[in-house]
Amino acid sequence: MESSQPSAAAPLLRLTDVSVAFGHLTVVQDVSLEVAKGEVLALIGPSGAGKSTLLRSINRLEQPSGGAMEFEGRPVGDDRRSLHLLRRSIGMVFQQFNLFPHLTAVENVMLAQMHTLGRSRNDARLRALEELRRVGLEQHAEKKPSQCSGGQQQRIAIARALAMDPKVMLFDEPTASLDPELSVEVLGAMRRLADDGMTMIVCTHEMRFAEEVADRVVFMLDGRILEEGPPERLLREPEHPRIRQFLSAYRDR
């Protein structure tokens, strides 16, 4: 199944037949997907399925080779103004934290606000502290990344993205480089964002998170959407045998 069922309200984000190719290799193939405002969508599937590339194509970190995208009902173009507005509206958190080691946590969250949004240093600091509080790290505001655990650094990265006032948050395997104990911290912060109504698309191997937090789960294989549906169905009674095989491997670990 390659296209999502239409939502009752106009979707916040719509992808139509999106493909991404690197030379002769097509990594994402004709993916159509709708995401409603406030929805949490989990992208799952084996490594190399195209999940991360699809995610990166949404905010044009990877340029689609075909298809179309609409955001808030408007087509997304490839001109500089369209891309600037798109990236202002879509935050992204990667596997790696990408924090500046010489800056404190609060300074890391302040920097993009001042340079991209034009906020004053005082306003940016107030907002940074607010977002650090939101992810449970206000008491670590003056620490540098080297003084923080991996889970804390990832939560700083989440706070940095939230401080830019995104309408959608993209998460690309945010716990992949963390041990299970630290993953719990990050997943807890993401659960709170979902509870607050943030629209989120999450590439994840955390099946429990997908089942408990996602409104919809999309399984990708070979660059295509193989199946999608509510987590209570897809993660327990998927239609496709390849998905049953994938989920069985996780249960048997």
Q: Tell me the percentage of the chain whose pLDDT exceeds 70.
A: 96
Distance separating alpha carbons of residues 192 and 110, to the nearest angstrom: 22
- On the 0-12 / 13-18 / 19+ scale of CB atoms within 10 A, 210 is buried
Positions in the chain whose pLDDT score sits under 70: 1-9, 252-253
Alpha-helical runs (H) found in the chain: 51-58, 80-89, 105-112, 121-134, 150-162, 180-195, 207-213, 231-234, 241-251
| Angle between helix 105-112 and 150-162 (nearest 10) | 30
pLDDT score, position 74: 92
Give the pTM. Answer: 0.91
pLDDT score, position 84: 84
Residue-wise pLDDT for 189-230, tens only, equals 999 999 999 999 999 999 999 999 999 999 999 999 999 999
pLDDT score, position 241: 95
pLDDT score, position 78: 82
Instruction: Specify the CATH number of the domain 13-251.
Output: 3.40.50.300
pLDDT score, position 7: 41
Q: What residue ranges do the domains of the chain occupy? A: 13-251
